[in-house]
Structure 1
Amino acid sequence: MLLAASAPPLLTELAILLVAGTLIAFVSSRFGVVPIVGFLVAGAVIGPSGIGLISDIDLVNQSADIGVMLLLFTLGIEFSLERVRQLASLVVIGGASQVGLTTGIVTGIVMAFGVEWQTAVFTGLLVSLSSTAIVLKVLAGRRAMTSQTGNVSVGLLIFQDLAIVAMVLAVPLLGGETGGPVDILLALGKAAGIVVAVVVAARTLMPALLRHVSRFQSAEVFLLAILAICFGTAYVTSLLDVSISLGAFLAGLMVSESRVAARALGEVMPLQILFSATFFVSIGMLLDVGYLARNLPLVVGLAASVVVIKLFTTASAALLLRQPRAVAISGAVVLAQVGEFSFVLERAGQEVGLVPAGLANGTDAFIAVTVLLMAFSPFGVRWGDSLAARLEAGADDRPSRRPRIDDDDMPDPADYEPLTDHAVVNGFGPRARRIVSALELAHIPYTIVSLDPEAQRWAASTGRRVLIGDVSRNLIADRAGLRDARIVLSVDSPPSAVEQFARIAREHNPDVAVLAWAADPADAADLEREGLVDHVVAERQAAHDALIAHALGHFEVPEPATEAVTHAVLHAELTPPDEDDS
């Protein structure tokens, strides 16, 4: 029976998609082309207009929808409610200006060619949206998510993702179907109610819930709980006729208010990468290669027009809010494409007889322009950065750290300034606490990485730099600055965990020094014999002295200063503050 059983349809389609996508993306990367372009090309090759390997596009589109959900969920985690509040002017004023300007200009241009105003407005709405998926990938790849350009880009995207709710409701009105502004106002009121409920839950219920889940120290339970929050919230919003993508973003905002936000992001990221790749391949499959070849001048001309309009409207919106000129230009280039939610809007338009720009093959033209702009978007961002730098030499667009609201707030790990030539301390047990104190007295920069939420609570309550999560996750390793560290320490873990941590550290930074502690001299000898650990302290009585001496020695602290720091640390009272979950 097992040999005779056939593979389920979804497995067949996903297997072809992933194998083809991986091979073409690999070849693309070998030529210096970003994976996103490879995925789009893979979709065009295996899609209906290519060699036709994929027969059931609906199944692929369902997987792609999950990819968009997880993408917006991770965006929500990286954005705290406080950060969204700080970007309120960018979201409301900037986003409304960008969408309004784009829609108005496109409407005027299309009407100039004799197209009805309803179709012209519909086309303007399509062009006003940018690709959240592309922008997030580009910003994350350049580590610019929290830069000024990142703030402008994401602020405008948040407005667009909220505006899609009203746009979808407005399309039937443009198509002449029954309904009215009252329906739109009711829907927006419903969405506002959901947002209020999410804010309340994020401030009250979610931190306590995730704190209790994390105490189980079970990766499986934690991951399932995070995914349940994402999919559950999205499902509830769908029952209220609100976009599941918006629901996923709001779910991420709820998780962002918890101390385990960075860990949640690290756990979900592999799934997000998988399904996001499916999304890009699915977009590529929509492209009619034959239509593109026959109408290349038209498609290129339309794409160039979209770029020019988006550059002008986005830069104008940013300059309206007095953003630096370099930031306005780079942000405009980042958003100079048509987004995935435009496909949702275009399908809604098809149902009521609206065709992009009123063209005979408007849908094919729209898809071709969108895929073309998505494919060239990563290259355009590089060009935009160079142009912005030339126009405004010396403009500083590095990630900035947002100020803490008050002394009781937990720091947001995403807002930590990147460190170089520092120490990374894995875990925050008794030995690690003493070493951290020594590093502080010697004015040596460091980052703590811990899976224990209570350890993070103690560290953060005293103003220490701490990430909660598993350093084996690339996201956590990057935020800890493992690649740029001078020394890494694992001094409160069993030998097996020390070995695993040392391997991870060597993968990211082959030249980093690794310092560990072992209770048994035999274990210490085994770790050193493998060559993964540079120093293993096994002295039972003088362990703390030796650990501090080795740690400071790697930073060339003079011996008298090391002795003074060691004496001060070992005679200090290191007692955690009383736990208070209120």
Structure 2
Amino acid sequence: MASPTEHASFLPPVLTFLSAAVIGVPVFRLIGQSAVLGYLVAGVLIGPFGFSLIAEPETAASVAEIGVVLLLFIVGLELHLSQLVSMRRDIFGLGTAQLLVCAAALGGAGLLFGLAPAAATVVGIALALSATAVALQLLEERGDLGTPYGGRAFAVLLFQDLSVVAILALMPLLASAGGGGGDGFWFGEAVQSTGKALAAILAVVLVGRYGLNPFFRLLAASGAREVMTAAALLVVLGTALLMQEVGLSMAMGAFLAGILLAESNFRHQLEADIEPFRGMLLGLFFMSVGMSIDGGLVKSLWPILFGATAGAILLKVALVVGLFRLFGSPWLDAVRGAAILAPAGEFAFVLLPVAGGLGLIDANATRFAVALAALTMLIGPVAAKGLDAVLARRPSAAEEQAPDVVESTEARVLLIGFGRFGQILTQVLLAEGISVTVIDKDVEQIRSASRFGFRIYYGDGTRLDVLRAAGIGRVELVCVCIDDPEAALKIVDIVHEEFESVRTYVRAYDRTHAVELMNRDVDFQLRETSESALAFGRATLEALGLSAESAARRTDEVRKRDVARLVLQQAGALPDGSGWMRGLPGELKPEPLTAPQRPARALNAETRDIIGHERREAAHRALETQDARPDA
């Protein structure tokens, strides 16, 4: 059994990473830079070539890869298969062109600087790949992932992830081409690995299509929230590990898992559960990249390294701008997309060591190329941020940005609670064609709502992370239709504190709940039974012989009196024995809105006892109230 000292030995590196994150990122955000740059610089400072606070940066890097895995899973959750089909031209057309053109240009530059053809090819491919984690983080910070240039950049990144498998498979062939022989062995191995990869993908698709939704429904019915989190991590990491075992990338496996769950009713809950892990581990990944920069090499060759870094970024930007324009992007889109894709990718740290092991590139060239790739990831976000600042100062920036804005497919209303009240409300919205996102944690309600055509997801509406994942920041108003008064008040508090621009329309459980909601300044509240009871009363009057106009007029009078009394009760202006004071809710007892024409009469002995007891209590409360007055 491990001793307390051994357990404690894990704490210093954990505390070091946390301290670096909470210090570095806010500092860089305050000076207007990306959080990615803050993580990278923090990694440089705590790494072996900074203050050497981390003894084994390789261990941190292996754990940090999970951050990229979770990032790709969440990106997959945001997409649908139909969207991927619509992006096929950008994925396979623009993606292929970007990789081939950039690899050829950067590899040609390597040849000019004395690299062997095989080494130049590997370096060109490694630098042509783009940093998925950096690019997606920058797009997320800008809020541009849904724009045309953001979608096009993502298509390129997706093709690059797909191509890594083929690149790794081609490396042995490239090595054997230099040494002769082994072609037959390579071909058989390539066919075998391709078959394994296809079989694994088919298995994941089948399980995801037919097994995951029933699996999550079963877990949701158990009511154990922590089990849902564990299941989400199990699905993501399990799929990633399976893909890695058959030669695909872990990130590709996680992305595939996300795609398969994109249509799931549990999508937003999964996203909310994964998000905290994703954020911290992705930050750890960026710090591990910073720690990988060879400080000694940078110090001795800094003019050449920084010159090569600037040259690689500018060359890549120029080529990608031309390709984006060729595929129909406007100039502004092309430049911003190219800046996002300029840094070298995470797979450079995989391809270059593999190439070194195969003898395609020598040790010194590998060290130089790894440092060059890391520096592009360090400088790329700064360049992208600088570009944003330049474009923001352009007089015509707003006009040029207009074509980037696509019609939002986000819902206008977020409805929490799809019970009997929410179902009737959504009928009205459905009739008007209003787009709605519905959140409910009842599996049966989710199943019954599937026929309405709304986007409805499993989740707990009292959780801030679930509300964020459901897009509450982008809706016009939130309708709280749950029958739990305390939970409804909690949701109102969260919305008012975190999303001031979102209007709150709330179903009140009873009169007391309605007053509490009024005290919280909701935009609209309605007791769940009031209007239905008034409509029932109107129909009753008509059945008793009143004309429809007279019955409607009488009902309106009662409605107005009820609202007036509710306002007075909310202000604490009615000493009606209810014990109600503003801010100190008590029980509001039913009181007649019209003076009774005669006292109540009991028709049997049991009723007389009950009414007599009630009258004695009312008289006692009235006496206490009179005694409490200053002038009594």
TM-score (norm 1): 0.81
**Map of 1:87 onto structure 2:** 87
Shift of the 256–480 alpha-carbon distance from structure 1 to 2, 3 Å rule, reads: closer
Q: Any conservation in 2 of the 1:431–1:544 contact (CA below 8 Å)?
A: no
Whole-Å separation in 1 of the counterparts to 2:444 and 2:321: 45
**Map of 2:41 onto structure 1:** 41
The alignment partner of 2:439 has SS state of strand
Q: Any conservation in 2 of the 1:81–1:253 contact (CA below 8 Å)?
A: yes
**Map of 1:506 onto structure 2:** 496
Q: Which amino acid aligns with 1:542?
A: E
Deviation at 1:46, TM superposition (A): 0.7
Q: Any conservation in 2 of the 1:449–1:466 contact (CA below 8 Å)?
A: yes
Whole-Å separation in 2 of the counterparts to 1:191 and 1:444: 43
- Pairwise mapping of residues 3-14 of structure 1 onto structure 2 (< 5 A)? 5-14=5-14
The alignment partner of 2:506 has SS state of strand
- Pairwise mapping of residues 172-571 of structure 1 onto structure 2 (< 5 A)? 172-176=172-176, 179-180=182-183, 182=187, 183-355=189-361, 359=365, 362-363=368-369, 365-376=371-382, 378-379=384-385, 382=388, 393=400, 395-400=402-407, 416-417=409-410, 419=412, 423-439=413-429, 447-459=437-449, 461-471=451-461, 476-478=466-468, 481-483=471-473, 487-510=477-500, 512-526=502-516, 528-529=518-519, 531=520, 533=522, 536-538=525-527, 540-542=529-531
Q: Any conservation in 1 of the 2:76–2:259 contact (CA below 8 Å)?
A: yes
Rg comparison, structure with higher value: 2
Q: Which amino acid aligns with 2:286?
A: F
Q: Which amino acid aligns with 2:273?
A: E
Q: Which amino acid aligns with 2:453?
A: G
Q: Any conservation in 2 of the 1:450–1:470 contact (CA below 8 Å)?
A: yes
Deviation at 1:528, TM superposition (A): 4.6
Q: Which amino acid aligns with 2:36?
A: I
**Map of 2:74 onto structure 1:** 74
Deviation at 1:148, TM superposition (A): 1.2
Q: Which runs of 5+ in 1 are unaligned?
A: 402-415, 547-559, 568-582
The alignment partner of 2:335 has SS state of helix
Identify the range of structure 1 (32-41 vs 166-175) with the bigger mean alpha-carbon deviation.
166-175
Q: Which runs of 5+ in 2 are unaligned?
A: 536-548, 557-632
Deviations 1:305-349 (A, max 9, x none): 222222233234434444444433332221111111111112212
Q: Any conservation in 2 of the 1:487–1:515 contact (CA below 8 Å)?
A: yes
Deviation at 1:187, TM superposition (A): 2.8
Deviation at 1:271, TM superposition (A): 0.9
Whole-Å separation in 2 of the counterparts to 1:251 and 1:372: 30
Deviation at 1:41, TM superposition (A): 1.0
Whole-Å separation in 2 of the counterparts to 1:64 and 1:388: 42
Percent of aligned pairs with the same amino acid: 28
Deviation at 1:447, TM superposition (A): 4.2
Deviation at 1:489, TM superposition (A): 2.8
Identify the range of structure 1 (449-458 vs 296-305) with the bigger mean alpha-carbon deviation.
449-458
The alignment partner of 1:38 has SS state of helix
Deviation at 1:277, TM superposition (A): 0.8
Deviation at 1:257, TM superposition (A): 3.6
Whole-Å separation in 2 of the counterparts to 1:485 and 1:325: 31
Q: Any conservation in 2 of the 1:34–1:378 contact (CA below 8 Å)?
A: no
Q: Which amino acid aligns with 2:496?
A: R
Deviation at 1:23, TM superposition (A): 1.4
Deviations 1:188-218 (A, max 9, x none): 3433333333333333333333344334343
Q: How well do the aligned residues superpose, as a CA RMSD in angstroms?
A: 3.5
Whole-Å separation in 1 of the counterparts to 2:534 and 2:315: 65
Deviation at 1:69, TM superposition (A): 1.4
Deviation at 1:160, TM superposition (A): 0.6
Identify the range of structure 1 (132-141 vs 463-472) with the bigger mean alpha-carbon deviation.
463-472
Shift of the 440–40 alpha-carbon distance from structure 1 to 2, 3 Å rule, reads: same
Q: Which amino acid aligns with 1:396?
A: P
Deviation at 1:108, TM superposition (A): 1.8
Q: Any conservation in 2 of the 1:333–1:380 contact (CA below 8 Å)?
A: no
**Map of 1:65 onto structure 2:** 65
The alignment partner of 2:504 has SS state of strand
Deviations 1:146-196 (A, max 9, x none): 321122111111111111112223334444577545133443343333333
**Map of 1:573 onto structure 2:** none
The alignment partner of 1:461 has SS state of coil
Deviation at 1:31, TM superposition (A): 2.2
Identify the range of structure 1 (355-364 vs 318-327) with the bigger mean alpha-carbon deviation.
355-364
Q: Which amino acid aligns with 1:204?
A: Y
Q: Which amino acid aligns with 2:202?
A: V
Whole-Å separation in 2 of the counterparts to 1:159 and 1:37: 25
Shift of the 152–203 alpha-carbon distance from structure 1 to 2, 3 Å rule, reads: same
Q: Which amino acid aligns with 2:400?
A: A
Q: Which amino acid aligns with 1:83?
A: Q
Deviation at 1:430, TM superposition (A): 1.6
Q: Which amino acid aligns with 1:463?
A: G
Shift of the 240–446 alpha-carbon distance from structure 1 to 2, 3 Å rule, reads: closer
Identify the range of structure 1 (424-433 vs 132-141) with the bigger mean alpha-carbon deviation.
424-433
Aligned length: 532
Q: Which amino acid aligns with 2:506?
A: A
Q: Which amino acid aligns with 2:404?
A: D
Q: Which amino acid aligns with 1:490?
A: V
